Amino acid sequence: MKILRLLTFLAITTLSVSADIKDEIRQLSREKFKLTIETGKLFSQHKLNENAEYIELQNKSLAAAREFNKTRRDHPALKEYYAKSDAVQKKAVQARVKGDKEASSKAMREFTQIRMDLEKAAREVPELQEFQKKAVAANTAAEDKKLELLETIPEGKAHIAKIKALDAKVAELRKQLNISKP
């Protein structure tokens, strides 16, 4: 009986700690989002977005993302998902225009499920991975240049330090969450 009580106590404690960690991760993510928005404003205010190398990298990133998205949309294994997704999205917009919140919410839940299914199916298509890697690499190059430019201004440097600290804290919390899972 003592073992059962101990196990129950440990399970409840673990669930409570897990919920607390998830709440903290959400809070830190919100904080990071706000900082990221402010950092974007700094980037524009200081005209760092006019840097020729950054513009070139950003254009390459956008082109790679368009190519990846077009390749996904045109892939035969995903056509059915996109057709369903487009139809449900249209239904959601029509419901919203008519002011039918319940129908709009229902359609958006259905849309979300279809998109999750689409993402799962897309991960299983090997020929898409090359396009995805290319898009991710191009985006990373543009973001790295953005950070490099932000490092040249004091406010940007401070924001980057805060964002890195938040990322480290979230990574540590996620690590704890994985360790504490039964």
The pLDDT of residue 126 is: 92
**Mean pLDDT, the chain, integer:** 89
Domain holding 103, by residue range, is 81-123
Same-domain pairing of 133 and 119? no
Closest CA to 57 of 119, 149, 161: 149
17 band by pLDDT with thresholds 50, 70 and 90: low
Residue 159 within a domain: no
Same-domain pairing of 71 and 129? yes
Same-domain pairing of 104 and 173? no
21 band by pLDDT with thresholds 50, 70 and 90: confident
pTM: 0.72
d(CA 25, CA 19) in angstroms, rounded, equals 10
The pLDDT of residue 9 is: 47
Closest CA to 134 of 68, 86, 53: 68
